[in-house]
Amino acid sequence: MGRRSDPVCLICLETLTSEEFRNGEAMTLDCQCRGDLALRHRECAIKWAQVKGDCICELCKHEVKNLPALPPRPPQEEGNAGMEDVYSSQQMVELAPSHADLVFDCVRVTWVAMIVSILFFDMNLASALWTGLVAGLAYSFMVRLMYRQHFAAMQRLAEAHAAGAGSLARGPVHIPIVTVV
């Protein structure tokens, strides 16, 4: 029959040796996992628990009892990572498509609409080009308009959140969407 493969750490995917178990570098997690599923490098298991922020096994969803207690996470300062920072004007500008992207999209939609017009509607080349150009410009305009509306709504939500941090707990905030051209 086949030879049994060596156990592997399920975090770093490196082979676990008997030497690592003897000197304490590898361990068996004390959770509901059994067999090869419970084998890890000690440092891998500790680092993974610190990254996740808890000692819950990802596979069996039970607490891993033989991991050291995690240090508490530092509390977030009130103004450091609020919604007003997430939706700052600079980040909104970076998220919006550039003018080059909009021009490329316009050209792409123009060509697709032109080809469809020629193949399916039997238009001549000039009419198909004008139809494609109108479709491309309309598409680019709508994308730009949707991004502006989305960012304006997010900015208003961030400002409303900054104005009254507890106001969101009382109920939903209704923000009207206004077209910004």
115-153 pLDDT, tens digit per residue, is 999 999 999 999 999 999 999 999 989 998 898 888 888
Report helix, strand or coil for 42: helix
Q: Which domain holds residue 56?
A: 7-73
Q: What is the pLDDT of residue 80?
A: 47
Residue 112 has pLDDT above 90, yes or no: yes
Of the residues 73, 94, 122, the one at which a domain ends: 73
Q: Are 157 and 129 in the same domain?
A: yes
CA distance 109 to 90: 29
Residue 15 has pLDDT above 50, yes or no: yes
Q: What is the pLDDT of residue 90?
A: 62
CATH of the domain at 24: 3.30.40.10
Query: Residue 11's Cα: distance from chain center in Å?
Result: 21
Beta bridge partners of 27: 40
Helix (H) or strand (E) holding 25: none
Residue 1 counted as domain residue: no
Identify the band that residue 79 occupies on the pLDDT scale cut at 50, 70 and 90: very low
Contacts of 50 (CB under 8 A, 6+ apart): 70
Helix (H) or strand (E) holding 27: strand 26-28
Identify the band that residue 180 occupies on the pLDDT scale cut at 50, 70 and 90: low
Q: What is the pLDDT of residue 162?
A: 76
pTM: 0.42
Radius of gyration (C-alpha) of the chain in whole angstroms: 28
Residue 105 has pLDDT above 70, yes or no: yes
Residue 126 counted as domain residue: yes
CA distance 141 to 139: 5
Q: Are 65 and 99 in the same domain?
A: no
